[in-house]
Structure 1
Amino acid sequence: MKNILLITLLILASAIVWADAMPDFRLQDATGKNVTLSELLDGNPLIIDFWADYCKPCKQSMPLLSDLAQRYEDITVVMISIDKPKDQQRAKNYLKQNNFKFVTLFDPDMTLAKKLNVSIPPHTFILDGKGEIVYSHKGFDPSVMEEYEAQIIALLKLGEKPPAQLEEKPGAQLEEKPGAQLEEKPVPELGEKPEPGIGDKPEPGLGEKPGQKPEKKLGEKQE
């Protein structure tokens, strides 16, 4: 029981769920250009990882973080080096040789790192699209990448826009045209013969067959 409690405390110490906003910063990239947090935020998740050239676990995490950035193109991975100025060139060379998909910044005085209580690298923060820190992890183990990915997937789903709905347009309605109305005829009573209408042929008389001409009587001329 004590071992379970100890493991739980260690997990809570290494993985912390935040609800605070990342403080805005202005740090230089590898070319000396100043970059701010506001410029990096574009409404999508952001991974910020503090590292140093001397940190072996940091370098172990980099290929996996780069792979994560390639598989989820909507996220941005920002690597912030806390190397001293004299060691920054080695850090730049290492990043250049490996061609990682990162935004690389430098915090040599650990100004931002101290605000976030970062003392030993690596220390990773995951931000939502508004700059809120939703997850933090100290140290590195390959198994933690599953947790990173789960956080990213959750954030991307939360940030999804509802699919655009097609504009409903009324379909073409058929124009109603008054049709030819049938002439109403009275129903003949029992024993009565209906009056012949237009196109009607008279019914044959008694003993006559349909189509048979009437017999000529004596003294009558056949027309």
Structure 2
Amino acid sequence: MEQLGQDFGYVLYQTALPSAGPVLLEVGSVRDRAQVFVDGQPIGVLERENHERAIAFTVPRADAVLSVLVENQGRVNYGSGVHDRKGLLGRALLDGTELTGWSSRPLPLTALDGLAFAETGAAPVGPTFHRGTVRIDEVADTFVHLPGWTKGNVWINGFHLGRYWSRGPQRSLYVPGPVLRPGANEITVLELHAAHGALTVELRETPDLGPTEE
């Protein structure tokens, strides 16, 4: 990620797979979380915290496109791990043979101006941007809740609020009042997996920070 001039966000790696059939993909190191796709279909996830570096799947055809979306989840800022490089580190092997011909696309998500939205029926599976509006009469601090969503990022009026993850413990994000405006407010959600149920976002007066200890 650093070689692409990027500090935060995501990187999309892609290459063509040489032949069809069952394979084992091995990578040197994942920093920090990688979603794996073949021809756009999700295959699985590799996570640094679980020390996962290999995934088995079946290639449907020769020249199928392997896509690996890697998320930077934060940096180690102490001790020997302070030089915490992000992305896919080391070689990527397919059944023991190094994969070559990679393209690497930086996705810093510092601006959303280039996004094109379209009306869809069923919610897609896999990384997707969703957009909606909410009308507000009186601006105030609030908290955004995403019931049924899995993992991703939230923006309001182009301001990045942060990341959400259904596994918790925190299940809400703080929305400063100055981010909002009277009238229509645009909410953009990047869902990395899939949302379950209605695609709704709620603004509530109170946060949900997870269990507390007495």
Higher fraction of helix: 1
User: Could you state the TM-score of these two structures normalised by the residue count of structure 1?
Assistant: 0.23
User: Could you state the TM-score of these two structures normalised by the residue count of structure 2?
Assistant: 0.24
Q: Which has the higher contact order (CA 8 A, sep 6+)?
A: 1
Higher fraction of strand: 2
Larger CA Rg, structure 1 vs 2:
1
